[in-house]
Every structure is written in structure tokens, then in C-alpha cells.
Amino acid sequence: MASPEIPESLDILRRVFGYDTFRDGQQEIVEHVASGGDALVLMPTGGGKSLCYQIPALVRKGTGVVISPLIALMQDQVDAMRALGVRAGFLNSTQDHDERRVVEAQFTTGELDLLYLAPERLRLASTVELLGRGDVSLFAIDEAHCVSQWGHDFRPDYLMLSGLHERWPEIPRIALTATATEATRREIASRLQLEEAKHFVASFDRPNIQYRIEPKTDAKRQLLRLLQAEHKGDAGIVYCLSRNSVEKHAAFLTENGIEALPYHAGLDGQTRAANQARFLREDGLVIVATIAFGMGIDKPDVRFVAHLDLPKSVEGYYQETGRAGRDGLPSTAWLAYGLQDVVNLRKMIDGGEGDAAFRRRQAMALDAMLALCETVECRRVRLLDYFGQSAEPCGNCDTCLTPPESWDATVPAQKVLSVIVRLDRERRQKFGAGHIIDILLGKKNAKVIQFDHDTLKPFGVGTDLREAEWRGVVRQLLAQGLVAVESNHGTLVQTDESAAVLRGERTVLMRREPDRPAPKAAKAAKDRKAPVELPAEAMPLFERLRAWRAATAKEQGVPAYVIFHDATLREIATALPTTLTELGHVNGVGENKLAKYGPQVLETLTSAD
């Protein structure tokens, strides 16, 4: 029981979770929901969203029901809760009849603090009837952005969740997401009938993540350099757009001494589950995946997230990069993108499904992503501005560490547009970027000669720039809407804005292409400081603790972070507790973990002497 001087929520935070204080914004949310209020919570990945419903569920009478789309991860979520001494269970399609009966009985007899449900289970009358027979303390709707039909992770089953309020109007609901613009937030509130709920919007800033974006030249080699120079032995996620690309890059990394596992929808379910389980349970693995992977991944020690293709939106990019550094330690969000990425996505949008309004929204989302890529200002300032938050330059992104130059590219832009116009007007022809660049560079290759394009007036007028520079010019013209992609064939055409450039009425400023990756960014990644500084003499002890944790996790069949986070082991290795009481004062060591693992931790410390 909490003392009269200590709020019950803070007492639970200390006893169960092992932390002395709430993070910014958590306590207000916890107390609001614990007192029966509805809430819509926007908080970055790693910001502690889960505590915002876990603690109220422990404070209030009954069982907290958590709606989560993450069937493959429910067992790990439940294991993590049980390791803290919280009575947790789940119901989903992976269980057999007897397993479900046991959990249902635990729920109806009040033996569960938390019950995790997949949203599709609420389609079943038996599930609704079950909830009616138990004592529900609150409903938590995790990954609430899945209700947005225009979002990047839409789940049709989430549209049914408004029925929770209609069926149980007196039970508080808390909807949580790590990413949402103002428009998406309004849509979530409307679809879940949370218009009257209190909205809590934390800062979207993740200061421990270093954002870096560079032009794509040889993506495989660029990625390999990053991992070998800065993330040797680190766990990380590499995102690719296609299944084929996933397979190729996973094989390439493995061939070059970096253990990497593929993950995409084309793999059979057993292989996907096995690869995901290995990534969660083992240290230092890299998973190469399509965006089907990652939502709800609680692995705290992901040190980097790399994108080898351009994300479709800033929201998707933010959600995916947010899987790095959940433990607050320095991490990298790295993206390589090129001209073909822009062409492909423009084509995909124009030729995709949905009405004109939907395609227009997709195009606007892509424009915002391109603006982030091409900015000469602080990446973090631009990223936070997208979510309606202001910030000062961070000093920890590539544009802050190595400020890029901008240059007047009006004349090169006019040369590109001149080729496009002449091909269209004189020859009634349209071509892609590569052929237009060949004409500008004066290349007499088979295709140029076949179409007699070496006789065009602009032939050879672009020898003042290298091919890579011309590709950068075309990419940025696409980004600025001064050139468009014709969806059927991927050819380049003028836009309504092109004429002003050709007439000299509009100046075109561009980001200058660097000759090589900026060395300052790579150096800064090594120089960044961890929240818990680890002296050199403490490193062997930290590694010994990690080895103990790995063995314990393997024996119990749970991810290593379920035992203790790296940040907790760092603090133990630095503080060197000699008694259980001293160990109990370390962040992340609650009562249950102290009783379960405390003697082993002290023994590990002693055996290191």
C-alpha cells in the first residue's frame, strides 16, 4: 500500500517498475485515466506510452483491456509484464481452445491485471459477452493511428472500436499513438468517439537519435560502410521497399560478416516468426525488412534504423526511425535515397488506387518527405515542424554537423526543361531521366543515335556538371514540383510551374550534392554521450552482466530486455551495489525483479572481482 504522502501511482511506479520519477507528461496522464477520464495520448516511441495505461490498470479495480494489433508480439508483452509481477494474459488466434479457456477463466475470476486482445476478436460475440462477465477497469487502444483510413498503418478492424464506448460508456478509454499530425489526431478522436477526451501531446523530439540523409549512389556499399564504421555488433533494422531487395541486402550483409535476417510477407509464417524472435532475443542481430516489420517492437537496444528506399510520408519515416534508441542511448536514423526513388513513388501515387482526393493526400505526404530530404536546415527542426512543434537547431543531425551549401540551379533547371520541351514539341516524344541526362552530357549511345537526339539543340550543353550532379538536379526538380512523372511510362513532363523557370521569372535554389559522405556526422556518432556514462574500467563488468542476462533470457525463453534493459545494466556496472537494498535503488529494478534476479546479479558482480 502507498503511504498517505505518496500517490498510489508513484508507489506502483517505484515498487513494480523500479523508477523513482515519471517522465515528462506521464504522471498527468496516469492520474487522469486512473480517476476515470478518457484520454488521447500522442507520445514518441520510447517515451513511455505503455506506463500510461499499465499503472492506471493497476490502480483501478478490475482488469485493464489492451487492444493491440500485434499478435506476434503479445507473448513477449505478457512475458515482460509477468517479469514485473503483473498478472497478464492475452487472447488471440494463435491459442488453442484450452489455452483460451484458461485465460478467460482468469479474467472472469479477477485474476488478471491486464488482458491483451487483438482488435479482430471484438468482432466475435463471444468476446463481447466475455468482457461483459468480467470487471473491466479501462480500455487501452494501442497504436491508435491504425484507425486512420488515410494513415500508413490502417487496420479495418480498428473502425469497430468506437463500439467500446457505446457498450461500456462508464469505463475510461485511453488511445495511444507515437505519430499523428493534427489532421490524423482529429480523425482518431472522431472515429473512436474521443472528441470529449483530454488530449495529451508530448514532444515528438527524440534527441538521442541522429538523423542523417544522403544521396543514394551504391546503397549496399553505403550501408556496409555505416555498419562497419559506426555500428559494429549493434542491433539494427534496415528497411527496403521490395521483398527482393530485402533478400538481396540480408544476403549481402551476411556475406560481409554482419549477421542479418530477412523479414517480409513473402516468407512463410514460421520463418517470419523465427526471425523476429531471434532479433528480439539475441544481441547484435540486424533485421532487413519491408515496412511490414516493426510496429510494437519493444526491443530497447536497437542502435540504428536504416532506410534504403524513400519512405512515402514523414509520419511513416518518423514511426520507423523511432524504433531506434528506445532506451534513450545514442542511435542513428540513416536514409539513402535517389532519383529513381522519387520517380517510382510519383508513379505509384498517380497510378494507384483511390480517388483523386486520396492521391492528392498521398502526393502532399510525399512532398513533405522530399522537403525533409532536401532541406538545408536542421533535420530535427523540419521534422518537428511537420508535427506542429517548434524547435531550435539540434546540433546532432547531418545538416547541423556538416551544413550543406545551397546554390542557384536556375540555369541547369532550364537546361533540363529545355530538353523535355523540345522532345515533346519537336518530336512528340517523352523520355525518362536517364535519357535526358545522356542528351545533356552529349553521350552518343545507341538510344540517343536511334532517335537522332544528338541533333537536338540542347545536346551536350550539360558537360559542366557530372552525371551524379545532374541526377541530383532532376531529383530536386521533382521534389520542388518543377518536373512531374507521367504515371504510365515513368517519363518526365512539364508542370504548371515549369514555364516560369524557362522564362527566367523564377529562381531555382538547390542543395549541393556532396562529393562524399560527411565525415563529421560519422565522428559525431562515436562521440555522443550515453545518459549513463560508462567508464572504461566498468566495460568488462557490463559485458559480464550482459552475458548473464543473455543466458538467463535463453533459459526462460524471453527477450533479453525482459530481464533488464542495457541502461539498467550500465547503472549497475557503474554503481557497483553490494547489497539487495542498494541494488533496489537502481532504475529499472522493481520489487519483483529484485527478488527474482537480485542474488544472481550480486553474485555476477562478486565473481568479477
Q: State pLDDT tens for residues 159-174.
A: 888 888 889 999 999 9
State the pLDDT at residue 162.
85
Average pLDDT of every residue of the chain: 89
Q: State pLDDT tens for residues 553-607.
A: 989 988 888 999 988 999 999 999 999 999 999 999 999 999 999 999 999 998 8
Q: How many CA atoms lie within 13 A of 1 on its CB side?
A: 2
Task: Report the pLDDT averaged over residues 113-134.
Answer: 93
Instruction: Quickly state the pLDDT bin for 203 (edges 50, 70, 90).
Output: confident
Q: State pLDDT tens for residues 58-111.
A: 999 999 999 998 887 888 889 999 999 999 999 998 889 999 999 999 999 999
- Minimum mean pLDDT among 104-113, 129-138, 144-153: which range? 144-153
In this predicted structure, the answer to whether residue 486 has a pLDDT above a threshold of 50 is yes
Task: Report the pLDDT averaged over residues 334-363.
Answer: 85
Task: Report the pLDDT averaged over residues 182-197.
Answer: 89
State the pLDDT at residue 159.
84
Task: Report the pLDDT averaged over residues 398-425.
Answer: 93
Rounded-to-integer distance, Cα 154 and Cα 152, Å: 6
The SS3 assignment for 316 reads helix
Residue with the three cell numbers 545518459: 531
Instruction: Quickly state the pLDDT bin for 157 (edges 50, 70, 90).
Output: confident
State the pLDDT at residue 237.
97
State the pLDDT at residue 521.
40
The DSSP bridge pattern shows strands 302-307 and 491-494 to be unpaired
State the pLDDT at residue 509.
92
State the pLDDT at residue 536.
83
Residue type, 53: Y
The residue ranking higher by pLDDT, 449 or 531, is 449
- ∠ CA 43-45-47, nearest 5°, is 60
The residue ranking higher by pLDDT, 559 or 16, is 16
State the pLDDT at residue 281.
85
Top-ranked range on mean pLDDT: pick from 174-188, 225-239, 479-493? 225-239
State the pLDDT at residue 115.
98
DSSP conformation letters of 517-577: --HHHHHHHHHPPPSS---GGGHHHHHHHHHHHHHHHHHHTS-HHHH--HHHHHHHHHH--
Q: pTM of the full predicted structure? A: 0.82
The H or E element spanning position 476 is helix 467-479
The residue ranking higher by pLDDT, 30 or 182, is 30
Rounded-to-integer distance, Cα 136 and Cα 132, Å: 8
Give alpha helix (H) positions in 13-73: 26-34, 51-59
State the pLDDT at residue 497.
92
Instruction: Quickly state the pLDDT bin for 6 (edges 50, 70, 90).
Output: low
Contact 238, 321 (CB under 8 A): no
Taking only Cα atoms into account, the Rg of the chain, rounded to an integer number of angstroms, comes to 27
Contact 44, 204 (CB under 8 A): yes
Give alpha helix (H) positions in 203-266: 219-230, 243-255
Rounded-to-integer distance, Cα 83 and Cα 76, Å: 10
Q: State pLDDT tens for residues 544-554.
A: 999 999 999 98
Contact 117, 127 (CB under 8 A): yes
Rounded-to-integer distance, Cα 303 and Cα 234, Å: 6
- ∠ CA 229-232-233, nearest 5°, is 175
State the pLDDT at residue 137.
97
Nearby residues of 452 by Cβ (< 8 Å), 6 or more positions away? none
State the pLDDT at residue 489.
74
In this predicted structure, the answer to whether residue 215 has a pLDDT above a threshold of 70 is yes
The C-alpha cell that represents 205 in the structure block: 523530439
State the pLDDT at residue 282.
86
State the pLDDT at residue 264.
94
Enumerate domains of the chain plus CATH numbers: 8-201 (3.40.50.300), 209-337+375-401 (3.40.50.300), 406-511 (1.10.10.10), 536-607 (1.10.150.80)
Instruction: Quickly state the pLDDT bin for 150 (edges 50, 70, 90).
Output: low
- Minimum mean pLDDT among 16-20, 219-223, 350-354, 430-434: which range? 350-354
State the pLDDT at residue 535.
85
Q: State pLDDT tens for residues 494-539.
A: 999 999 999 999 999 998 865 544 444 444 444 444 445 678 888 9
In this predicted structure, the answer to whether residue 425 has a pLDDT above a threshold of 90 is no
Nearby residues of 325 by Cβ (< 8 Å), 6 or more positions away? 46, 206, 208, 209, 302, 303, 331
In this predicted structure, the answer to whether residue 609 has a pLDDT above a threshold of 70 is no
